Amino acid sequence: MSINQPHPKKVSYAEYLTWPDQPRYEIINGIPYMHAAPSRQHQRIVTRFTGELYTFFKGKSCEVYTTPFDVRLSAAADEEEYLVVQPDISVVCDNRKLDDKGCKGAPDLIVEVLSPSTWQRDRIEKLNQYQKHGVREYLLIYPNEKVVEQYILGENSLYGTPYIYNEENIFHSHLFPEFEITLSTILS
């Protein structure tokens, strides 16, 4: 099976749990997608951003997780769950959503660093699912372009027009206004 070729049948999270840990998969609408190993540039950005978030949230109630970390967006029973994602970074502020398997329900903040093999899924399918399931802030990082798109869930439960940042800007989180970061420290 190629990296982007879906599995031949719809699978649930319960079935997914019986698979070996490697390779890693996500399940979107019952279709599993295998992950390729990310690039060094991708991992550098994830590590730097995670470090900034970890420092900011240290001693606070929110927790920061990096992939591999299962996020079951719909919070359905495992045998009925057909949507499991592994965001590059997840911030969860409601510890009732956390269990030994990961997060059951929408994290507050999700960050995805785009890769050639996943950018369409991150930019279209996952963006729509994150909006539908109430992820309040979603960041897409374009490593080659050195750009960050920030989606904020509005009162109408829809993402508005994204805010666009480049490496010369200071990023400000909508959910956590005290969290700001000079993007050149992350994207360079």
pLDDT at 1 over 70: no
Confidence of residue 8 (pLDDT cuts 50, 70, 90): low
pLDDT computed for residue 30 by the predictor: 85
Give the DSSP letter of residue 145: T
For residues 67 and 132, give the distance between their C-alpha atoms in angstroms, rounded to a whole number. Answer: 21
pLDDT-derived band at 76 (thresholds 50, 70, 90) equals low
Whether pLDDT at 173 is above 50: yes
- Assign a CATH topology to domain 38-76+84-187: tt1808, chain A (3.90.1570)
Least confident of 1-15, 71-85, 150-164, 174-188: 1-15
User: pLDDT tens for residues 94-147?
Assistant: 999 999 999 999 999 999 999 887 888 899 999 999 999 999 999 999 999 999
As a dihedral over the C-alpha atoms of residue 64, residue 150, residue 178, residue 146, rounded to 10 degrees, the angle is 90
pLDDT tens-digit map of 26-75: 888 888 877 777 889 999 999 999 999 999 999 999 999 999 899 999 86
**Whole-prediction pTM value?**
0.87
Residue length, the chain?
Answer: 188
Residues 6+ apart with CB under 8 A from 157: 131, 134
For position 178, what pLDDT does the model report? 97
User: Which residue type sits at 58?
Assistant: K
The answer, yes or no, to whether residue 17 has pLDDT greater than 70, is yes
Q: Is residue 7's pLDDT more than 80? A: no
Rg (CA), the chain: 16
Q: What is the pLDDT of residue 3?
A: 43
DSSP reduced 3-state for 79: helix
> Which pLDDT score, from 0 to 100, does residue 176 have?
97
